[in-house]
Amino acid sequence: MSEPDDLGGQLLITPAGTVVVSTDAMLASVDRLRALEAALLIDIRRVIAADAIADGLPITGITPRLERLRDRCERARDAFGRMAENYTRLESAIEQAQRDLAAMIAAVVGPAAFGYLMRMILFQPHVLIAGALIGWAAIPDGPDGKLGTVRDFMIAHPELITSPEFVRFVSLVATSIDDAVLGGMGVPPWLVALPGFDLGRDGGVAAGAMTVAALGAMLGMFRETSVAVDRVSTHPVTDAPTGVRERFDRIPEVNQVRIEKYEADGMPPRFTVYVGPTETFSPYTDGEPWDLTSNTYGVAGLQAGSFRAVELAMAEAGIRPGDEVVLTGFSQGGLVATMVAASGDWNVVGLETHGAPAGNIPLPTGIAGMAIRNTDDLVPALAGPQLEHDLMQVERRAFREGVDIPTIEAAPAHQRSGYEATAAAIDDAESGAIREQIDALDTFATDYLDRPGGQATVMTFRATRE
């Protein structure tokens, strides 16, 4: 059930195979109207049959009234569909206009900014370093140093980065970095702003992430390494998760990968893989592969350390290419889970992500599950707008307009607590579209435990950079 003090907004749903956004309440109403239509159709047939044998009973006129009522249900259902289509069409037009304007601005400003930065890095790095040091020195020391001062400021002012408007700005920036690069290469701004003129089918998000990685590498950041994986524990588990919240609760921390193996007599094994979130946000590589380097490489479509670690863990757990797999991940874990599903190297039949910067990754069709995002969470926006709809998209504002945003942690809309509330709201959803996806992932594991010989084993893995 949803938390009694839930601060979030309504659920917005984009079913698989469409680009139409609807609320859970609207889809639930459509489901009820469809059920009422079917019931009325059955009643009409019964009345017609009764009329044929009534022999004078006073039922004349009932059938036309039932037909009119059924027609009203059908027209109401169609009206809901048109409302959703018009809303989506308007939102898409606004977003496209904003992206085109952002591309034009980036292409105009890009050459000067990009050229100045490159000259500083190549010819006057001391000036760049001096400027960075002066800026760093201007930050006052707090109880936990300068980083603590920055952290405390962001925690005290969560509204600065917790709003759908800021998230949209971040998304526009993510799709405009490649435009700035093109402008820096001398491509005319009017050409850069043309629809479809991007470095990739994802609106240039991957190209922009590659640019960030390349620039950071000049300063010793974003250096990828080899990774190693160790199995930390193996033990039986007696139950399978049911519902989005229970799956979310099994996403690990510290030991970044959890794999559950389900077996039943006469059946091939099934596996559920849970991938944890980012462990460190330092751009400098150390022993932790769930870091900012893996985030950047993952959005860029490159071989991120965390992605390679998950594949190593899957192989160590005994998952073969033909075995059915369901993946669940939070934040970077959702990005990595999406990369595994998109790789084509594994038989992924289900995927559930929470707050993942993975909107620029195309997925194969036929995968059950949901991509879940809080619309006031900036992290998913780092991958730009959602460009594919082969997986159901479920969105919700973590903190609806007018409520007090918590000042306990930075970026509260991206914290586990924010996604726990969203997961609970999804479990409470009434629409058949969401219930179908929840049931598909629930059944994947529980079905085996209900069979003769049903058993499950959980394995946890810890990955490190070498």
* Least-confidence region, from 13-27, 210-224, 309-323: 13-27
Break the chain into its structural domains and give their ranges. Answer: 27-90, 99-217, 227-465
Q: From residue 186, how far is each of 63, 103, 181, 416 by CA, in Å?
A: 72, 14, 9, 44
In this prediction, residues 58-80 reach a mean pLDDT of 73
Residue ranges of E strands in 248-367 = 257-263, 270-275, 324-330, 347-354
Distance between CA atoms of residues 443 and 451, nearest Å: 12
In this prediction, residues 54-77 reach a mean pLDDT of 70
Q: Three-state DSSP class for 425?
A: helix
Better-predicted residue by pLDDT, 99 or 369: 369
Q: What per-residue confidence (pLDDT) applies to 2?
A: 45
229-279 pLDDT per residue, tens: 999 999 999 999 999 999 999 999 999 999 999 999 999 999 999 999 999
| Secondary-structure percent of the chain, ordered helix, strand, coil, rounded to 5 | 50, 15, 35
- Residue owning tokens 């934040």: 331
Query: Which stretch, 8-17, 138-147, 191-200, 321-330, has highest mean pLDDT?
Result: 321-330
Query: Would you state the structure tokens that stand for residue 463, as one six-digit string?
Result: 């990955």
pLDDT band at 201; cut points 50, 70, 90: low
Distance between CA atoms of residues 284 and 307, nearest Å: 18
Better-predicted residue by pLDDT, 59 or 270: 270
Q: What per-residue confidence (pLDDT) applies to 1?
A: 44
pLDDT band at 177; cut points 50, 70, 90: low
What strands, in cross-sheet order, belong to the sheet with 392-396? 22-23, 12-14, 392-396, 368-374, 347-354, 324-330, 270-275, 257-263, 455-465, 227-237
115: which strand partners?
Answer: none
Instruction: Please work out, in degrees rounded to the nearest 5, the angle formed at the alpha carbon of residue 338 by the alpha carbons of 198 and 210.
Output: 40
Better-predicted residue by pLDDT, 115 or 206: 206
312-332 burial, b for 16+ CB within 10 Å, e for fewer? bbbeebebeeebbbbbbbbbb
Please check whether residue 326 is in contact with residue 441, taking contact to mean a CB–CB distance below 8 angstroms. yes
Better-predicted residue by pLDDT, 433 or 458: 458
pLDDT band at 200; cut points 50, 70, 90: low
Share of the chain above pLDDT 90, in %: 44
Query: Would you state the structure tokens that stand for residue 455, as one six-digit string?
Result: 């058993």
- Answer whether residue 356 shows pLDDT above 50: yes
116-160 pLDDT per residue, tens: 555 555 556 655 566 666 776 777 877 777 677 777 777 888 888
Name the pTM for this structure. Answer: 0.80
Share of the chain above pLDDT 70, in %: 76
In this prediction, residues 216-236 reach a mean pLDDT of 93
Dihedral (Cα; 150, 117, 298, 382), 10-degree rounding: 60
- Residue owning tokens 């109207």: 33
Query: Would you state the structure tokens that stand for residue 437, as one six-digit string?
Result: 């996806």
Query: Would you state the structure tokens that stand for residue 258, as one six-digit string?
Result: 């959890």
229: which strand partners?
Answer: 463
- Answer whether residue 313 shows pLDDT above 90: yes
Residue ranges of E strands in 221-364 = 227-237, 257-263, 270-275, 324-330, 347-354
Please check whether residue 6 is in contact with residue 425, taking contact to mean a CB–CB distance below 8 angstroms. yes
Please check whether residue 270 is in contact with residue 180, taking contact to mean a CB–CB distance below 8 angstroms. no
